Structure 1
Amino acid sequence: MVTSMGPEHDRAIELRAFDETKSGVKGLVDAGIAQVPRIFVQPPDSVACGEDRADIPAMDLGHANAGPTSHDETARNIGLLEEVIEGSRGFFEQETEDKKGFYTGDLTKRVIHNSNMALYNSVAADWRDSICCSVGPEPPRPEELPEACGEMLMEYSKHVMRPGSCMYELLSKAIGLPQNHLKGMECGKGHSIICHYNPPCQPRLTLGVTKHSENDFLTILLQGQIGGLQVLHENRWIAVPPIPGALVINMGDLLQLITNDKFKSVEHRVMANKRGPRVSVACFFDHIPQPSSRLYGPIKELTSTNNPPIYKETTLPNYTAHYISKGVHGTSALPDFKL
């Protein structure tokens, strides 16, 4: 287990020692460490606060898609979201031995539990543990899922498809395309769900999630009721406070690529917090488990002689592989695909 804070330090050895415990950050906390191990310590400029407040746009997707949401339906939705958060928390807080069977660095697995998918090629590790399930277009078999939260995640994935579909329709219309254009490009065909667990931690040393943008088309985030999420807007970090019953929708790199910068991906991070644990559940729209050779580039209807394509075409597996190999360094992989 990694607890050394001495002057001599071999990062690779410490990362390997931490990873091989398969106990994650939760394991460090349970062991009673007194200080944040240095493999998690971020550069000071990465954890600088400077948090501003701003009005975050909100909309009722029930109203946009199928009429106003009733009070009873709102209550049911809030209850479902609370169940998802508690079910996810249950996975991370069960006995360590029950989780180890899912712990892996093999990104081809349908269910992956680990601490930092980019553990070995990041500037500093995030103070988090995660479990990721590929749930579409083909769901995993029941025996592949963790007992603590698998059934709940599959049920949630069915519900989250509705706001995802609605958003694709609204975004298509917003850029002057037919309502079903983005769905016709199979931007919502594949999706995965990832749950993050951020134990309480000393702030301003590490981050719950490092600054990044997503390597997908669209992300729908359920962030629970403990704050910490911030988005970067005009070089300022803006807090996104939790709202009961609300979901946060982020646009990803691939949506920016295919719309030729009509929509911009959202860089964000999660601050470490003395409160907690913080549990969040994100649904990513793009992850297709089987190999796909379909090319995605700027939509032809959005380009012209005066507005030429900005990005080159790429496949989802190619973009994802490049995104992972680049590591989490607080810089987007998208500029590497510019023409």
Structure 2
Amino acid sequence: MDQKLISNWSNIKSVPENYIFPLESRPGDLKIPTSNSIPIIDLNEAQKDDSDRANTIHQIIKAAQEFGFFQVINHGILENEMKETMSVFKEVFQMSDEYKQKLYLDDDLKTCKRFTSSLRYETENVHLWRDSLRHPAHPLEDWQHLWPENPTEYRECVGNFSVKIKELGSRIMDLISEGLGLKCGYFDNDLTGSLIISINHYPPCPEPSLTLGLSKHKDPYLITILMQDGVSGLQVLKDGKWITVEPLPHAFVINIGHLLEIISKGKLKSAEHRAVTNSSQTRTSAAFFIAPSDDCLIEPAQDLTHYENNQPILRSFKYKEFLKNFFDTLGDTDLILKSFEPPKN
């Protein structure tokens, strides 16, 4: 295990062969221009009056249609809370090797998973330049006792923060629901019954043009709330071109998940994105996935009768089935959707 963890490597001069991506998938030239067009939405505006709320909703829906991404400011979570939580997340990757061994993923039954590259390391063709920690966070009382015991403040700090993130996610989903014309509280049930935390740690890479921290993918959730640490690395595919989403101080990046695209009948778009590395700085990001409960039934919203269905015809399916297919196919969207097509007569 210790040899696998990239954060344990030192003085490495070149990228190992099993981390080099095929030519067509490599990031290549990393001088991708930063986009100033990723929408920045002030959530405080939605609390003023009906007109401001309607305008905020319009901005969110438009951003979700055009980019699948936007950033939110004035979201109600204090900047010092974000800094403290990010500091605790980073400390996890600086713990002793002995402690890392205890957290390392050795079977799929562990709920708190410390791993390198991906959950399918042993079978993947090429490895990702990242180490990760992943665990459930809602309902908090069901999971908190299974989280890392060290750093000593991890459980309390991350627990308090995850509650606030879940509340923020509910606010955003309410605005999206209203923007789609769905009934009030449409997502206030098993559709948002889960919160997963995934902390990604990307050490400096000697040849960042050859590898990726995260390959191109869509997230298999409703929305992702991403906290960045100030180091650039997130890129979004827009109109066939990669654009960089620069970290904004005291902001969260929100991206539309594949499930929300399905539920909205294609009205909202889940954008493909990736993470690139750099040669000089470690980057840490924390993704909070707003997701359904395992047994929640997923299907296009029946209330959206006035929208043209831009999705293929799919049978209803349980979320845990969808998630398993996602990891088994390494996030191949076409294969996932094909597996949920209704049987042909």
For residues 163 and 272 of structure 1, what CA distance do their matches in structure 2 show? 29
CA distance in 2, matches of 1:268, 1:204: 16
Matches within 5 A, 1:226-245: 226-245=231-250
Per the alignment, residue 208 of structure 1 pairs with 213
Q: 2:315 aligns with which of 312, 326, 333?
A: 312
Q: Contact 2:220–2:257 (CA<8 Å) still a contact in 1?
A: yes
8 Å contact from structure 1 (residues 40, 124) kept in 2: yes
> Are the structure 2 counterparts of residues 97 and 314 from structure 1 closer, same or farther at C-alpha, using a change threshold of 3 Å?
same
1:306–1:77 distance in 2 versus 1, CA, 3 Å = closer
1:120-146 alpha-carbon deviations (Å, 9 max, x no partner): 343311100000121112442436433
1:118 aligns with 2:120: yes
Shift of the 37–131 alpha-carbon distance from structure 1 to 2, 3 Å rule, reads same
Contact 2:144/2:159 (8 A) holds in 1 = no
Q: Give how far 1:287 is off.
A: 5.7
Residues in 1 aligned to 2:80 and 2:161: alpha-carbon distance in whole angstroms: 12
TM-score where L is the length of structure 1:
0.83
Counterpart residue number, 1:10: none
Distance 2:211 2:85 in 1: 26
Asked if 2 retains the 8 angstrom alpha-carbon contact of 1:103 and 1:113, the reply is yes
Bigger Cα displacement from structure 2, 231-240 vs 133-142: 133-142
Residue number in structure 2 paired with 1:302: 304
Aligned pair 1:60/2:12, yes or no? no
Deviation at 1:246, TM superposition (A): 0.4
> What residue in structure 2 maps to residue 136 of structure 1?
138
Taking a change above 3 Å as real, the CA distance of residues 306 and 38 of structure 1, as seen in their structure-2 partners, is: closer
Q: Aligned pair in 2 of structure 1 residues 309, 26: CA closer, same or farther (>3 Å)?
A: closer
- 1:9 match: none
CA distance in 2, matches of 1:49, 1:39: 17
Per-residue deviation, residues 191-219 of structure 1 (Å, max 9, x unmatched): 11010100001210111111111111111
> What CA RMSD, in Å, does the superposition of the two structures yield over aligned residues?
2.7
Contact 1:56 1:240 in 2 (8 A): yes
Comparing 307-316 with 201-210, which one deviates more in the overlay?
307-316
CA separation of 1:228/1:309 partners in 2, compared to 1, >3 Å: closer, same or farther? closer
Q: How many residues align structurally?
A: 310
- Which residue, out of 182, 189, 193, partners 2:197? 193
Q: Give the 3 Å change call, closer, same or farther, for CA 332–270 of structure 1 in structure 2.
A: farther
Report % sequence identity.
27
User: 8 Å contact 2:144–2:155 — kept in the other structure?
Assistant: no
SS of corresponding position for 1:261: coil
Query: Unmatched 5+ residue regions in structure 2?
Result: 53-73
3-state SS in 2 of match to 1:21: coil
Structure 2 contact 27–212 (Cα < 8 Å) conserved: no
**Shift in Å, 1:183:** 2.2
Kept in 2, the 8 Å contact 1:191–1:285? The answer is yes
The offset of 1:332, in angstroms, is 7.1
The 1:53/1:65 distance shift into structure 2, 3 A limit, reads same
- The residue number in structure 2 matching 1:163 is 168
Q: Which moved more, 1:140-149 or 1:91-100?
A: 140-149
Counterpart AA for 1:316: Y
Assess if the C-alpha contact under 8 Å between 2:265 and 2:308 holds in 1. Answer: no
Q: What CA distance in whole angstroms lies between the structure 2 residues aligned with 1:198 and 1:305?
A: 41
1:6 maps to which residue?
none
Secondary structure of the 1:140 match is: helix
Distance in 1 (alpha carbons) for counterparts of 2:273 and 2:231: 16
1:34 aligns with 13
**Whole-Å separation in 1 of the counterparts to 2:280 and 2:46:** 35
Secondary structure of 1:249's aligned partner: strand
One-letter code of the match for 1:44?
A: L
Per mean C-alpha deviation after superposition, the further-off stretch among 274-283 and 40-49 is 40-49
